[in-house]
Amino acid sequence: MNYPSDSADSLERYVHKRFPLSGIAHHLYFKLRLLEHEKRGFCKPVCTGYRHIANTVRIDDNSIKPALMELQEKGLCEVSIGSRIAADRRATCIRRLTLDEIKLKHMQGDDDAHRLATALSDRAFRFGDKTIKPIWTVGQTGRVTASKPAVQNTKGKHTARVAGLRSGLESGDCLVHVDIKSAEPSLIKHLLNIPSERDLYAEYIAATGCERDDAKQAVNTLAYCRNAMRCFAHWPIAAQDQLRDYVEKLDVYKAGLWTECQKTRSVTTLTGRPIKAREGERLHPGRIMNWRIQGTVADVVNAACLSLLPSASVIIPVHDAIYAILPSGKTELVAMAITGRAGEKGLPLKVTTDVYKSG
């Protein structure tokens, strides 16, 4: 069997980024790939003696047990320590957990995102010609995403998701897609006390004559880049004249947020949930702003999804939208769940709704 080096690379990058380990444990974890090559394969049990581990991994055999115990305590490996005496015939068995297993193992949490991920992971549903049961995990901003399969990243995006989900509609059920209109720009304007009806994209288009997608790219980049004013300086002069007041307000807000968050290396969303930087993670004003805005959208979507669990047989959160299958008489619940949660927090979010029947 060919060793899946790409999968091993992904696993090891994730562990390197997310888990602080001692030098010996870090070295041992990454060198376990060599033992997997020799034995049964990627993330399969490796049973062997201390001496063989030490020779293969190039560490002192006295360091093996403490390093393995550290990897087990971190939730990265399953370990059964054997005997250092060959005559006892008890090998040490090690199995590295897969990336999905690690994410699930560390998915414990008491916030809406983790509760939703746990609930959705218990649900199977029809998608196209298959019944699937994805693994749902929580991203740093609180977004809940699926893997195996990654239904949110279905080829063809919205059209493919609708087609796949409609295949599982029972008689009397409907597929509902509710999308928050301009979710992130709406929250940013709210923070900067800019009228919600002001269309920043349209102003950029009027000044430059570009397409709307290009205008969205230009305007949205300013919020999450390291230095908004430096980026703004490269805009066409007409666009600078048109949107200078907005960009100056944005720059002041980001600077204040950055000052506020540097000591704690964390930021709260507009619903009050903290998002904390990982150890060693580099931050800048744009990233902190991104966490506050995208995290807030995730909070609204996750709370809405949780409220729909008793009514909907299928729920799929996708960034700033929700797909849900409900009885035909309850299709309005999805939009109400989103706008209700946003309204509780004083957030000016509006939605669009599409309803699809079977066939």
* Cis peptide upstream of residue 149 (ω within 30 degrees of 0): yes
Domain that holds residue 262: 119-359
Confidence category of residue 253, pLDDT binned at 50, 70, 90:
very high
Q: Are residues 131 and 64 in the same domain?
A: no
- Final residue before a domain boundary, out of 71, 103, 135: 103
* CATH number of 83's domain: 1.10.10.10
Least confidently predicted of 109-113, 147-151, 187-191, 287-291: 109-113
Beta-sheet strand order (sheet of 173-180):
314-318, 321-327, 173-180, 351-356
Q: Which of 103, 130, 157 is the last residue of a domain?
A: 103
The answer to whether residues 264 and 208 belong to one domain is yes
- Mark whether 79 and 132 lie in a shared domain: no
Residue 108, amino acid:
Q
Query: Are 139 and 208 in the same domain?
Result: yes
Q: Residue 281: what pLDDT?
A: 83
Residues in the chain: 359
Look at residue 109 and tell me if it is in a domain.
no
Asked if residue 242 lies in contact with residue 272, where contact means CB atoms within 8 angstroms, the answer is no
pTM confidence score:
0.76
- Give a yes or no: residue 114 inside a domain: no
Count of the separate structural domains present in the chain: 2
For the ranges 52-66, 149-163, 240-254, 301-315, which has the lowest average pLDDT? 149-163
> 285-308 vs 183-191: helix axis angle to the nearest 10?
120
Query: What pLDDT shows up at residue 50?
Result: 84
So what's the pLDDT on residue 111?
A: 87
pLDDT of residue 325 exceeding 60: yes
Say if residues 45 and 51 touch (Cβ distance below 8 Å). Answer: no
Q: Is the domain of 126 the same as that of 19?
A: no
Handedness of CA 119, 120, 124, 126 (dihedral sign): positive
- Whether 353 is covered by a domain: the verdict is yes
The pLDDT of 274-302, averaged and rounded, is 93
State the DSSP string of 60-104.
-GGGHHHHHHHHHHTTSEEEE---SSGGG---EEEEEPPHHHHHH
pLDDT in tens, 45-89: 989 888 889 899 999 888 899 999 999 888 899 998 876 555 556
Determine whether 210 is exposed, middle or buried from the number of CB atoms within 10 Å of its CB (0-12, 13-18, 19+).
Answer: middle
| Whether residues 211 and 276 fall in one domain | yes
- Residue 111 within any structural domain of the chain: no
The answer on 71 and 138 residing in a single domain is no
Residue 245 domain-assigned?
A: yes
Separation CA 301–CA 193 (nearest Å) = 23
- Pair 56, 31: CB distance under 8 Å: yes
In whole angstroms, how large is the CA radius of gyration of the chain? Answer: 25
Instruction: Give domain status of residue 248, yes or no.
Output: yes
Residues 193 and 332 in one domain: yes
Single out the residue of 106, 100, 98, 75 nearest to residue 150, CA to CA: 100
Whether residue 77 sits in one domain with residue 42 = yes
Give the domain CATH number at 354: 3.30.70.370
- The mean pLDDT of the chain is 91
Residues 96 and 170 placed together within one structural domain of the fold:
no
Q: Which residues contact 336 (CB under 8 A, 6 or more apart)?
A: none
Question: Do 98 and 159 fall into the same domain?
Answer: no
Looking at the fold, whether 147 and 75 belong to one and the same domain comes out as: no
Average of per-residue pLDDT across 120-127: 92
Query: Does residue 149 carry a pLDDT above 60?
Result: yes
Residue 242 is assigned to a structural domain of this protein: yes
Convert the pLDDT of each residue in 83-117 to its tens digit.
655 555 678 899 999 988 887 766 556 789 989 99
Residue 42 located in a structural domain: yes
The predicted pLDDT at position 358 comes to: 80
